[in-house]
Amino acid sequence: MSVSNNVDFSIPVVERAGAVLMEIGRRVPAFAQGLHLQSAGKLAEARSIFLQLTERPELTAPSLHQLGVIAAFEGDNMRAAGLFEHALKLEPEEPLYYCSLGTVFERVGDLQRAAAAMVNLAVMLQTKGRHADAIPLYNRILHLSPLNYSAWVNMGTGLAWIGQSREAIVPLIIGVILFGRVLPEARELGNQLLDELGDRLPELTAALAQLPDGMPDGRLERLEEVLQTLDKALRTAGFIDATVVALNVALKLAPGNALARWNHSLACLARGDFATGWADYEWRWVWDQFPEPRRLLSAPRWQGEALEGKRIYVWGEQGFGDILQFTPLARILKERHGLAEVILEVSAPLARLLSSVLDEPGFRVVSRPDNPHQFSIDDVPDYHVPLLSLPHMLSLRVPDLPLLPGWLTLSEAEVARGATLLPPRQEGKRRIGVVWAGRPQHSEDARRSLPLSLLGSILDAVPDAQWISLQVGPRAADCLAFKGRLHDMSPLLKDFIDTAAVIANLDHVVAVDTGVGHLAGSMGAPVSLLLAHSVDWRWGIGGERSPWYPNHRVHRQTALGDWNSVITALREEHSAPVTDAGPPALPRRKKSSTAADS
């Protein structure tokens, strides 16, 4: 450590923190004088000034820090460490003090304590959400202490938080491998992950080649939490088989961990293991951060009892797409169990649509109430059940898909009304609807939605298309930049029945993973589905087709954030001109066939 006012190594967060001293100097002339004397090598005079300034509460911590810098320059490193630690107790959120403490420990060869000081700084930054600032610190720590377990796993967590999921996998797995030098289960997991990913992650192999032998430094804590972060990074990067391996171990270590069980369900469903996946999906009600409330309703929840002649209240949950995707199971439930009535509760924007579509004996559609612990009907049913528990209760398996294809049929009157909402058809052109963004409240919206500007290149590349915007909400205004090429329908789309009526008059729909994609799929319309690289269980791990919707063609990112590859595939799909433009032959109103055994 030099006699200057800076620490020995250059890390952006430390450089910014050093500016704090200069700012204090600008406000307090005496402090500025002390800094000047210190820089000039007049240490005794500088020490005298800083000692006096420690009597002023607002200057105590920075003055102690400068006294520590002087002590370190004079070779009294342990006194310097004590002064830095005292300053930290007074101002535990000042990065400069951590770095100075780490530097002085490094000078005396106590690399573990130097690394510990830097880990504390990095963790403090991460608790404030400053993950990007923490990453260079972890790199510095691992230069000092390459077996530091906390540095590896916290760096992986930080990378995952800032969206660098693939990069996060390597430090997280190294953390698991270090843990495995103590715990046999972690050792076995590390070997399994290497077998699964070694050839697909050359950066992991390279990092392990540099990892020294020996026991890990620091405390080994909460491996199951590390495995949950690893699970998210692996799933986002598309390594589904590996995430199941990691979560299996996490569940052995903490069998009651609801989040791990929930994540395990999503991974199993993505792989097509519906038996395990739907059973574990029920753990969503145990996870205390699940966004849907666990409802306390004045009727027993259906647990498989005989239902013939009974009335059951099936309540929709989660997003619009979830409700549309699984509504066919409410029909199957009624037919299979001989129910007298199914009352289906749905989000208000879906109520008019599904009331029209399910206008048949023994079915009633109601809107979700404001109070989640009340029914939307006056009389109490015999049972209630969450809609997305029906796959488990009805033992849904992949061969059962698709569920009632084209079940969502509109009346001729609604189809005719939809035609009046659209602009006149341009001669010789297909009408293609577009949705590029989902609900901003969705936890994955930033990843699943895309800038309309990227789709702009398609608008002119497909000369035989008349483009119709089905986008609603805040992002609908995006299409103003494409006026004349993209017709904005948002003022006319009040709820899902309006959107469905329009889709019934379109030739094709292009959509990201939103409710409109499910709506068009439920209607049997042809859909180009644009997916982010991270795997949503319902679309599987790969392939261009969806078992849920036969008319979907799926275009997936080839790498995280790579929408360009999706746009290229979409352009190729629509590049061949269609000579006979006209609306698709969508199903019209008719009774569905019995699907009790589907």
**396: helix, strand or coil:** coil
Q: Tell me the mean pLDDT in the region 286-306.
A: 93
Q: Which of 59-68, 284-293, 443-452, 567-576 has the lowest mean pLDDT?
A: 443-452
Q: What number of CA atoms fall less than 13 Å from residue 296's CA on the CB side?
A: 0
DSSP string, 515-580: HHHHHHHHTT--EEEEE-SSPPGGG-SS-S--SS-TTEEEEE-SSTT-HHHHHHHHHHHH-S--SS
**371: helix, strand or coil:** coil
Q: Which residue has the higher pLDDT, 534 or 354?
A: 354
Q: Which of 259-263, 265-269, 348-352, 435-439 has the lowest mean pLDDT?
A: 435-439
For the stretch 570-586, pLDDT in tens is 988 887 555 444 445 55
20: phi then psi, degrees, rounded to nearest 5: -60, -40
Q: Which residue has the higher pLDDT, 107 or 6?
A: 107
**Cα–Cα distance, 409 to 525 (Å, whole number):** 11
* Res 329 pLDDT > 60: yes
Degrees (nearest 5) of the Cα angle 113, 116, 119?
Answer: 155
Place of tokens 């790969």: 542
Position 13 scores a pLDDT of 58
Q: Which of 237-251, 306-320, 348-362, 366-380 has the lowest mean pLDDT?
A: 237-251
For the stretch 441-472, pLDDT in tens is 666 767 778 888 888 888 888 888 999 999 99
Q: Tell me the mean pLDDT in the region 477-500.
A: 92
Position 308 scores a pLDDT of 94
Position 12 scores a pLDDT of 58
Percent of the chain with pLDDT over 90: 59
Q: Tell me the mean pLDDT in the region 243-262.
A: 88
Q: Tell me the mean pLDDT in the region 262-275.
A: 93
Q: Is 428 left (phi over 0), alpha (psi -120 to 50) or beta?
A: left
DSSP H or E segment with residue 376? none
Strand-by-strand arrangement of the 363-367 sheet: 363-367, 341-346, 311-315, 383-386
Report yes or no: 381 and 311 within 8 Å, Cβ to Cβ. Answer: yes
**Cα–Cα distance, 388 to 538 (Å, whole number):** 13
- Of 270, 318, 325, residue with least CA distance to 516: 325
Position 597 scores a pLDDT of 36
3-class SS shares of the chain: helix, strand, coil, % to 5: 55, 10, 35
Domains of the chain: 12-212 (1.25.40.10), 311-396 (3.40.50), 412-574 (3.40.50.2000)
DSSP string, 234-274: HHHHT-HHHHHHHHHHHHHH-TT-HHHHHHHHHHHHHHT-H
DSSP string, 73-134: HTT-HHHHHHHHHHHHHH-TT-HHHHHHHHHHHHHTT-HHHHHHHHHHHHHHHHHTT-HHHH
Position 403 confidence tier, pLDDT thresholds 50, 70, 90:
very high
Q: Tell me the mean pLDDT in the region 384-409.
A: 95
Position 185 scores a pLDDT of 84
Q: Is 315 left (phi over 0), alpha (psi -120 to 50) or beta?
A: beta
Report yes or no: 157 and 151 within 8 Å, Cβ to Cβ. Answer: no
For the stretch 192-229, pLDDT in tens is 999 888 888 899 999 999 999 999 987 787 788 888 88
* Res 587 pLDDT > 90: no
Report yes or no: 566 and 531 within 8 Å, Cβ to Cβ. Answer: yes
Q: Tell me the mean pLDDT in the region 80-90.
A: 94
Place of tokens 């996490």: 250
Most confident of 6-20, 320-334, 468-482: 320-334
Position 532 confidence tier, pLDDT thresholds 50, 70, 90:
confident
* Res 300 pLDDT > 60: yes
Position 150 scores a pLDDT of 92
**Cα–Cα distance, 76 to 80 (Å, whole number):** 6
**Cα–Cα distance, 384 to 528 (Å, whole number):** 36
Hey, what amino acid is at 587?
P
Report yes or no: 458 and 574 within 8 Å, Cβ to Cβ. Answer: yes
* Res 339 pLDDT > 80: yes
Q: Tell me the mean pLDDT in the region 522-546.
A: 88
Question: Dmax of the chain from CA atoms?
Answer: 95
Position 535 confidence tier, pLDDT thresholds 50, 70, 90:
low
Position 173 scores a pLDDT of 94
Position 95 scores a pLDDT of 87
Position 594 scores a pLDDT of 32
- Of 558, 504, 542, residue with least CA distance to 526: 504
Q: Is the dihedral of CA 209, 214, 219, 223 positive or negative?
A: positive
* CA of residue 68 relative to chain centroid, distance: 44
80's tokens: 């310097």
Position 86 confidence tier, pLDDT thresholds 50, 70, 90:
very high
For residue 435, list its beta bridge partners: 511
Q: Tell me the mean pLDDT in the region 513-532.
A: 94
Position 7 scores a pLDDT of 42
Position 212 scores a pLDDT of 93
589's tokens: 């109103």
For the stretch 176-189, pLDDT in tens is 999 999 888 888 88
**Cα–Cα distance, 505 to 508 (Å, whole number):** 9
Position 11 scores a pLDDT of 54
* CA of residue 228 relative to chain centroid, distance: 13
Q: In sequence order, which residues have a C-beta less than 8 Å from that of residue 483 and are 6 or more positions away?
A: none
Position 534 scores a pLDDT of 73
Q: Which residue has the higher pLDDT, 492 or 461?
A: 492
- The whole-model pTM stands at 0.81
Position 232 scores a pLDDT of 87
**Cα–Cα distance, 181 to 160 (Å, whole number):** 24
Report yes or no: 430 and 507 within 8 Å, Cβ to Cβ. Answer: yes
